[in-house]
Structure 1
Amino acid sequence: MSSRRLPFALVLAYLGAIVAVDLMTPSNLRLDVYAALAPMTAAALCTYRQTVFVGVLDFCLMVAHHGVVNGEVAVNRVGSFVGNALMVGASIAVARLRRDAELLLERVRATGEAAQRALLRPLPLRTHSVVVDGFYVSSQREALVGGDLYEVVDTPYGTRVLIGDVRGKGLGTLGAGAAVLTAFREAAYHRRDLEGGVVAMEQGLYRYHRSAEYQARLQPERHGGRPEDVRMRAAEEFVTALVFGTEEGPGDPGPGGPGAGGHVPVAFVDCGHLAPFLIGADGGVRELEPADAGLPLGLGDLAAAPRTAQRVALPPGCRVLACTDGVTEARSPGGGFYPLAERLDAWAALPTPRLLERLRADLDAHTGGRLQDDVAVLVMERAAEYGAAAAEGEEERAPAP
């Protein structure tokens, strides 16, 4: 509402200026046509109530000056009256239509936002052992989500974290992303090992590709009339993903837990995704290259061996940063890729919120605010409560003096 006050004031000033000039000029110089621009401009820039006010004011001023006070012939008075009435009426009608369209857009946006937030929950997300913070930017305007996905689940077996990227971008990839997310959330509670959860996620993607809804969307006549083209299209819609898991349950320190200096034991399975970065407590940054990089979800049948998990210990003060290729493949106006590794080396000492803030701002500056792909960034670190439990465990195990 406050953004409409300036246009409203300018329209009133313009109308006042027209009336003042009209009063100071000869009667044969008619400016009521220019005054009619005021309600038309208000209909485009101001609120509905402001437009009604400007229209009524313009009508009263022009009719009083040219239709009643002035001693013109009756035809001119009627013409001024009818002309102003038509212009004001049309302006109010346009303002009413624009207001209704804006209200409808707000309702649609609120509904879409609720649906999209149900798909991707706002960050940061916490479990008993880790905190996952980050940001998500869709490359499609007016959309909160797109082809990238993430999730954090606290299970009886430990924390499960997912970050993924559906081939493609924008809202057209939501179906495949939702299928993978749904399978991940279900498998996280019922499958202890990460490898089994990844298999469930891939099966969920296969089920989506075999669904009647997906087959109807990819009708053969839309792809050259050949069914094999439809199957090829489904095979090309794969999902790259990283699945992380802490290997301890609530209340169970486990190997490498609080009894080992508060290290959080972490395993991850790479499904054709970018390697994550380990940011050390001393500010050092290195990539966690998996020993066996698996194929993306949807292409697992092409591999001779199943995907395997790699295990690392997350020491106190260390963080893991994972992102999608919307970050590393973001291009500057000159065509250069975003130097993520160099930036992390420079910002490794920053706290997580500040690091994410700096990364997002620098990414916008690098691309000139024009992202070519969806962007998701997650930073996983040990929860403060987990660190306190580790310290208490060390004190309890310390020998008495």
Structure 2
Amino acid sequence: MSRSPTRAEVRAAVSRRLLPFALVLAYLVAVVVIDLRTPAYLRLDVYAALAPVTAAAVCTYRQTVFVGLVDFFLMVAHHGVLTAESSPVNRVGSVLGNILIVGAAIAVARLRRDGDALLERVRATGEAAQRALLRPLPLRTHSVVVDGFYVSSQRDALVGGDIYEVVDTPYGTRVLIGDVRGKGLGTLGAGAAVLTAFREAAYHRRDLDSGVAAMEQGLTRYHRSAEYQARTADAHAAEEFVTALVMGTEEDPAARDGSPGEVPVVFVDCGHPSPFLIGADGGVRELRAAEPGLPLGLGELVDVPRSRQRVTLPPDCRVLACTDGVTEARNRDGGFYPLAERLDAWAALPTPELLERLRADLAAHTGGRLQDDVAVLVVERAPGSEAGR
């Protein structure tokens, strides 16, 4: 979920840029003042030269240039051409020494600026590519609104081993949340294969079972690809599997006579953690499947089809689905995150606030050190929608 920075965040960002610059200038002024109050034979220009060097490490390029020029003119004025107290050799040495130090500091600052610019371009390109894989939340269809958040366990990555998607089709809404075995950017290939198959099947296959079969076929094709075989040849890695939960707002004849505003939802569980039904009255119930199916990639091990579960979503009720990065998150003592307990306490909160509380509390529980990628989706009826559509 992207948002514009607040005024407080803008002020904090400006302070972070100006504070190092102000400290470096204060240090330079302090050195000059001390130098003016000490005997002429006590040379402090070497300490002043630390100012542009430090600025090159912690300040912007323009700030470094400014500090370097100030340092150069101050030291030259005090120990260089404007003073006759030292020998010509010392004066020339002061000038050349300051030129070399300031020039080196500016060169380092420029290299650092160019490196930061390159890193920003790479990050922007990576963000665009990753956002093409996972669209920003919330997502809306005719019948539901899906909000949530995603946190990669890999630093500076927007996506990892968890996947999600929401598709509005002629047969109703299709929602997917999944988790590729493993974590980080190395799982993107399998995740992309499942997502591609899900998006295609959602438009051309009416029932969820055939859509799940298409996802399994897509993952199998990826495992047989030359790219995957080359990547796993040396590691002798087993084929990746993907746990997934597929939801759909299919037309349910049994629910046609239900209350207005009800949305019949069908679940197909592929070895994924069970979702939670959050009632309008604040009650929370785990929607555990009687016989959870095998993860994608392992379906050929048994001949039994994956079971379907039907739930009628009453007005103002929500379904929360997540990956095991939430349910298996541990604190310092090894305790698992108490998701059901937290949801029961926050069930009356609006969805955005509930998600904000959950994300902050999860970070506090783990001490900011996630062991696995985290994806959370909350599915609720769209305002003004019709059931089953």
TM-score range, shorter chain: over 0.9
- What is the alpha-carbon distance in structure 1 between the residues aligned to residue 75 and residue 281 of structure 2? 75
Would the alpha carbon gap of residues 50 and 36 (structure 1) be closer, same or farther in structure 2, given more than 3 Å must change? Answer: same
* Structure 1 residues 62-100: Cα deviation after superposition (integer angstroms, max 9, x where no partner): 112111122211111111111111110110010000000
Query: Which residue pairs with 2:331 in the alignment?
Result: 332
Instruction: Please state how far the C-alpha of 1:254 moved relative to its aligned partner.
Output: 6.0
Q: 3-state SS of the aligned residue for 2:173?
A: strand
- What is the alpha-carbon distance in structure 2 between the residues aligned to residue 377 and residue 302 of structure 1? 29
Query: Which residue pairs with 2:216 in the alignment?
Result: 202
Query: Which residue pairs with 2:10 in the alignment?
Result: none
Q: 3-state SS of the aligned residue for 1:168?
A: coil
Letter in 2 for 1:210: R
- What is the alpha-carbon distance in structure 2 between the residues aligned to residue 130 and residue 283 of structure 1? 20
**Higher mean C-alpha deviation, range 61-70 or range 292-301:** 61-70
Query: Which residue pairs with 1:226 in the alignment?
Result: none
> Which residue of the other structure, out of 181, 189, 195, is the alignment partner of 1:167?
181
Higher helix share: 1
Structure 2: 5+ residue runs without aligned partners?
Answer: 1-12
Query: Which residue pairs with 2:229 in the alignment?
Result: 215
* Structure 1 residues 104-144: Cα deviation after superposition (integer angstroms, max 9, x where no partner): 01101111111111111111111111111111111111111
Query: Which residue pairs with 1:20 in the alignment?
Result: 33
Query: Which residue pairs with 1:301 in the alignment?
Result: 300
CA contact (8 A) 1:257 1:265 kept: no
Letter in 2 for 1:308: S
Query: Which residue pairs with 1:183 in the alignment?
Result: 197
Q: 3-state SS of the aligned residue for 2:255?
A: coil
- What is the alpha-carbon distance in structure 2 between the residues aligned to residue 259 and residue 326 of structure 1? 36
Q: 3-state SS of the aligned residue for 1:304?
A: coil
CA contact (8 A) 1:330 1:337 kept: yes
Letter in 2 for 1:53: F
Letter in 2 for 1:357: E
Letter in 1 for 2:119: L
Would the alpha carbon gap of residues 327 and 369 (structure 1) be closer, same or farther in structure 2, given more than 3 Å must change? Answer: same
Instruction: Please state how far the C-alpha of 1:185 moved relative to its aligned partner.
Output: 0.2
- What is the alpha-carbon distance in structure 1 between the residues aligned to residue 254 and residue 206 of structure 2? 16
> Which residue of the other structure, out of 11, 29, 38, is the alignment partner of 2:51?
38
> Which residue of the other structure, out of 133, 139, 154, is the alignment partner of 1:125?
139
Instruction: Please state how far the C-alpha of 1:261 moved relative to its aligned partner.
Output: 2.5
- What is the alpha-carbon distance in structure 2 between the residues aligned to residue 79 and residue 368 of structure 1? 54
Query: Which residue pairs with 1:380 in the alignment?
Result: 379
Query: Which residue pairs with 1:239 in the alignment?
Result: 242
Instruction: Please state how far the C-alpha of 1:302 moved relative to its aligned partner.
Output: 0.5
* Structure 1 residues 234-266: Cα deviation after superposition (integer angstroms, max 9, x where no partner): 42x100000000013xxxx96525864221111
Letter in 1 for 2:222: Y
TM-score by length of 2: 0.93
Instruction: Please state how far the C-alpha of 1:216 moved relative to its aligned partner.
Output: 1.5
- What is the alpha-carbon distance in structure 1 between the residues aligned to residue 124 and residue 295 of structure 2? 33
The answer to whether the aligner puts 1:323 opposite 2:337 as a matched pair is no
> Which residue of the other structure, out of 164, 168, 185, is the alignment partner of 1:150?
164
CA contact (8 A) 1:265 1:311 kept: yes
- What is the alpha-carbon distance in structure 2 between the residues aligned to residue 112 and residue 383 of structure 1? 32
Letter in 2 for 1:164: G
Instruction: Please state how far the C-alpha of 1:360 moved relative to its aligned partner.
Output: 0.8
The answer to whether the aligner puts 1:97 opposite 2:88 as a matched pair is no
Would the alpha carbon gap of residues 207 and 238 (structure 1) be closer, same or farther in structure 2, given more than 3 Å must change? Answer: same
Identity of aligned residues (%): 79
Instruction: Please state how far the C-alpha of 1:39 moved relative to its aligned partner.
Output: 0.3
Q: 3-state SS of the aligned residue for 2:243?
A: strand
- What is the alpha-carbon distance in structure 1 between the residues aligned to residue 354 and residue 27 of structure 2? 49
- What is the alpha-carbon distance in structure 2 between the residues aligned to residue 8 and residue 262 of structure 1? 59
TM-score by length of 1: 0.90
Q: 3-state SS of the aligned residue for 1:385?
A: coil
Letter in 2 for 1:183: A
Query: Which residue pairs with 1:395 in the alignment?
Result: none
* Structure 1 residues 5-51: Cα deviation after superposition (integer angstroms, max 9, x where no partner): 11111111111111111111111000000000000011011111111
- What is the alpha-carbon distance in structure 2 between the residues aligned to residue 89 and residue 246 of structure 1? 66
Query: Which residue pairs with 1:345 in the alignment?
Result: 344
Superposed CA RMSD: 1.4
* Structure 1 residues 169-218: Cα deviation after superposition (integer angstroms, max 9, x where no partner): 11110110000000000000010010000000011001111111111112
CA contact (8 A) 1:257 1:264 kept: no
Q: 3-state SS of the aligned residue for 1:215?
A: helix
- What is the alpha-carbon distance in structure 2 between the residues aligned to residue 379 and residue 354 of structure 1? 12
Would the alpha carbon gap of residues 127 and 16 (structure 1) be closer, same or farther in structure 2, given more than 3 Å must change? Answer: same
CA contact (8 A) 1:257 1:263 kept: no
Taking the TM superposition and a 5 Å limit, the aligned residue runs for 1:246-325 are 246-248=249-251, 256-257=255-256, 260-325=259-324
- What is the alpha-carbon distance in structure 2 between the residues aligned to residue 146 and residue 257 of structure 1? 40
Query: Which residue pairs with 1:76 in the alignment?
Result: 90
Letter in 2 for 1:145: V
- What is the alpha-carbon distance in structure 1 between the residues aligned to residue 65 and residue 328 of structure 2? 51
Number of matched pairs? 373
